[in-house]
Amino acid sequence: MNFATNPIYVLGVLCLMVILADYAAKTKIGKKLGAALLVILFTAVIANLNLIPSASNSISLYDGIFTYLAPISIFYLLLGVNLNSIKKAGAPMIILFLIGSLATTLGILVAWTLISPEHILGEDGKIIAGMLTGTYTGGSVNFNAVALQYDFQERGILYAGTIAVDNVITTIWIIATLSIPAILRTFWKDKKVKTAKQEIEGEDKEKLTFNSLIWLIFLGITDYYVSELITNVFPKIPSILTLSTIGILLAQIKFVQGLKGSHFLGLYLVYIFLAVIGAYCEISSVLELKEVGLTLLTFASLAVFLHGILVILLGSLVYRDWEMISIASQANIGGGTTAIALAETFDRSELILPAILVGTLGNALGTYLGFLVVYIL
């Protein structure tokens, strides 16, 4: 066996790429790209240098990561969705976030009608629309959940290109949401919505313990197995949807909530998954993305723009607080982390925890809305 195809060697290289991406993401330039994209880029370089297998000479290890590790990573990330605590976000933020989720779904559907990306993207267009709906409602966990159901991750360069477009749009939307309150106030005065300040729980709850580890591994494997059994009985129900639902339900159990480190464990598995995506990005396939890349960028840009218009118009009918509307929108498009940054920038510390909580609500909703869009289209 060639050393470059040895599964233990390849797995070691994938783990090393995750380590390098984690360090690189802490640099000035790396922060702008993000660890997820850096993992893909680093592994793509290694694969194109033939130091590990790529898409054209894939090995069974890659299939195993796609089939088992990626879905289980989603399960671990969903264990952080505490539906009971979401009510602490307060009615204003929850309502605005739900409006934003509706605006995302409508934005995708209207953009699809106007641009007709299926002429360029083919059948992949519907899947991409579902993935973007998922990520612009919740985050990457929903993006990957929809992708996995349709084996879209095996599209290699197209998958990576979609992630790159998503990152570009997310960055632009951060700038837009920072500017929206000041711009709108010149035309339309607003009024800050008063909310109760919430304390943020300490980060020590994420420290992984041995007891938590053995339970998390057991629950992850069991959830995967049960979801596969249910799909065998009801083949029209996507297994990833069943897996996600079980994960959300388990997350409401006090014992499961006490298990520490599920987020970090899930995030690590996601990065291993993304490393394989990088390995699938062959330079010879990049030329195929010329027209496709432009279509992706136009489609995603228009969808998010329409989301913005709708969330401003509909949100202002309920709560005309431009900063809160911007934060809720950012929780949809960029996720809880960027929403927190926005709340801090606006000096709205009382909205930091609500931003985190509605971000978890997005993780709970995103996959369902993503599949809904695929079904509609």
Q: Sign of the CA dihedral 99, 312, 185, 337?
A: positive
Report CA dihedral (152, 158, 163, 169) to the nearest 10 degrees. Answer: -130
pLDDT of residue 112: 92
Using pLDDT thresholds of 50, 70 and 90, give the confidence band for residue 106: very high
pLDDT of residue 200: 44
- N residues, the chain: 377
Q: What is the DSSP string of 222-250?
A: HHHHHHHHHHHHSTTS-HHHHHHHHHHHH
**Average pLDDT, integer, range 5-10:** 87
Q: Which of 2-11, 81-90, 176-185, 296-305 has the highest mean pLDDT?
A: 296-305
Name the 3-class secondary structure at 320: coil
Q: What is the residue whose two structure tokens read 């089939």?
A: 67
pLDDT of residue 361: 78
Q: What's the CA gap between 231 and 42, in Å, rounded?
A: 36
Token output for 102: 């509706």
Lowest mean pLDDT among 65-69, 74-78, 336-340: 336-340
CB of 195 closer than 8 Å to CB of 351: yes
pLDDT of residue 206: 61
Question: Would you call 341 exposed, middle or buried from its count of C-beta atoms within 10 A (0-12, 13-18, 19+)?
Answer: middle
Q: Tell me the pLDDT tens digit for each residue of 192-221.
A: 666 555 444 444 456 788 999 999 999 999
Name the 3-class secondary structure at 302: helix
**Average pLDDT, integer, range 150-173:** 77
Q: What's the CA gap between 250 and 79, in Å, rounded?
A: 7
pLDDT of residue 286: 52
Q: What's the CA gap between 197 and 354, in Å, rounded?
A: 9
Count of alpha carbons within 13 Å of 236, Cβ hemisphere only? 1
Is residue 314 over pLDDT 70? yes
Report CA dihedral (170, 369, 247, 60) to the nearest 10 degrees. Answer: -70
Residue 34: which residues within 8 A CB-CB, separation 6 or more? 25, 167
Q: What is the DSSP string of 36-85?
A: HHHHHHHHHHHHHTTSS--GGG--HHHHHIIIIIHHHHHHHHHTT--HHH
Q: Tell me the pLDDT tens digit for each residue of 125-148.
A: 899 999 999 989 987 778 888 888
Query: Which of 23, 20, 2 is CA-nearest to residue 275?
Result: 20
More confident residue, 55 or 108: 108
